[in-house]
Amino acid sequence: MACGMICVHGVGKAFGETIAVERAELCVERGEFVALLGPSGCGKTTLLRLIAGFESPDTGEIRVADVPVAGRTVCVPPERRRIGMVFQDYALFPFLTVAENVSFGVARRERRRRVAEALELVGLAGLDKRYPHELSGGQQQRVALARALAPEPSVVLLDEPWSNIDPLRRHAMRDELAQILRVAGVTVLLVTHDREEAFSLADRVALMLEGTIVQAGTPEDVYLRPADRWAAEFAGAGNFVRGRLDGELVETLLGRFPVTGRNGATDVDVLIRPELLELRPDAEGTAEVVAREFRGHDVFYRVRLADGTTLVSHRPSTELVALGDRVTVRAHASAVPVFS
């Protein structure tokens, strides 16, 4: 059953009548950065707490570094799992200095060395005597990360660490934190409901819905080759048009395309992402731009076709089309996913 640094096999957890995690399967390889992505209430944080040891599974097994840490006959306490965790609210001790916060959980004989190394790694050398309230939000987050890294864990778990950060600062802070973690060389599992965050940071993304891992793969796989209709919609904006399979091709109102997978049905819904739809101004065009959203570097358009079908197109702002313009719509897709 060995499968990398973290192995979650058939794990389930219920709180009374509420099932939080059900038959979850997840593998995270050594040194990998994986994002656990899903809507609020889907069981992401519960699964993270099960891996950390703050909860015990009702069914299944969890291994860390190929060592069983939770299951029917074993329950290793959190402090013995070699797992560091950064909580959503950082959970710093307000009455302890930065150095004292970071040294929490480190063996006494190693504290001076490990605290200095961890603070250097996160760029807080020289701030060891300050208290949390004397630091900015970003600095507090780095203290929390230093505390997670100080005991030299094999795995670091991040529970939506940027959810309380101002959106204007979030992008820079998450890039900074991700870079620190990659330099540290640890295995990372990030819980988030932010699609952009997951796609931009992670080596692989695991989509979770109603306690179950629906799909796991690279961000490109999840976006371009979603496992089902829900995964397709959650991974990003998309156009679903009717199509009819003919061998290895599907016929749609936008043309014929190769398909990425078949499920036995003949009449299917075809996913075409907005960035694959090109709009060409054409006074004789059969489509009309009925809405547009200018975002600076790009523009989202809503286009109504002659038969009343409405599609969305995502184009760079160098290809501006005015509201009300007639256009010709062309899809540039080498292959498309289909769903029954």
Cβ 11 vs Cβ 69: under 8 Å: no
Backbone phi and psi for residue 170, each to the nearest 5 degrees, phi listed first? -60, -45
From CA 130, how far away is CA 2, in angstroms rounded?
43
Stated pTM of the model? 0.89
Query: CA angle, corner 339, sides to 338 and 340, nearest 5?
Result: 130
Q: How far is CA 233 from the centre of its chain?
A: 14
The pLDDT score that the predictor gives to residue 222 is 96
Q: How sure is the predictor about 3, in pLDDT bands with cuts at 50, 70 and 90?
A: low
User: Averaged over 253-268, what is the pLDDT?
Assistant: 85
pLDDT at 184 over 90: no
For residue 263, the model assigns a pLDDT of 65
Is the pLDDT confidence value at 307 over 60? yes
Is it the case that residue 84 has pLDDT exceeding 70? Answer: yes
- In order of 77, 210, 241, 332, the CA distances from 248 in angstroms are 53, 33, 17, 17
Give the Cβ contact number of residue 90 at 10 Å: 18
Indicate if the pLDDT at residue 65 is higher than 70.
yes
What is the per-residue pLDDT for 136?
87
Contact present, 274 and 313 (Cβ < 8 Å) = yes
